[in-house]
Structure 1
């Protein structure tokens, strides 16, 4: 059973159909897979993670998650976690939205800490408070284990 988008995207995207692009229960479990199963280039992306303590966390971006030489995206990028839905939006303090390569995906940054980071094999992952979103740690622990990962997008 898929979780589906749980945090509302910007209003201009609410009438468009969202589709499951990548799911750790069905696809191989790596960043390479996440980059491979992307939606329409430039389309919004919703990354959902459930950790082994049943915490749901994730990030929304108005463009596709992909490999890059530097940070990209816009101020519409945000983090969230639940069970009590809490959203962390761009503070305007920096532009460290998303940076990805084959070995590491980072979302948010500042003070040498990433708001959310995933290694290439998705074996190591973590969350720290960061200046981009002025967020809390998104999981109960700064380093956590992924139980399920889903990527949703527009196709």
Structure 2
């Protein structure tokens, strides 16, 4: 009896060990969903009307980022941005995108992919704002939406 239990446990362990969870490539995950921007945080912060803020939504509450800003990655290597903020219907047409390792390129802009799964995407960009606030690191957090 003990021998049968040992054999059963061995077969069970072998079967479980042979099953690997295969995550899709990042390009596939990107194309699976539209991605809605939930937050945009800039560090060390930007000065607006004399006070410093890290929340880019607060910089322009009526702007594109703060109003349902969404990215859609298409299979033809184009990406479309949309928003229902004021004047956001003037967002340019599709831009090219590509993913290499942990970097995502949207047009000429390069972002580090800090997290990407079927529900969440976190992108980070470091750039000089040219607004007097110097170099800023901006973290964009997106959630996957239903198609």
User: TM-score range, shorter-chain basis?
Assistant: 0.3 to 0.5
TM-score for the superposition, normalised by structure 2: 0.39
Q: Relative to total residues, which structure has the larger helix share, 1 or 2?
A: 2
TM-score for the superposition, normalised by structure 1: 0.37
Answer with 1 or 2: which has the greater Rg.
Answer: 2
Structure of greater relative contact order (alpha carbons < 8 Å, 6+ residues apart): 1
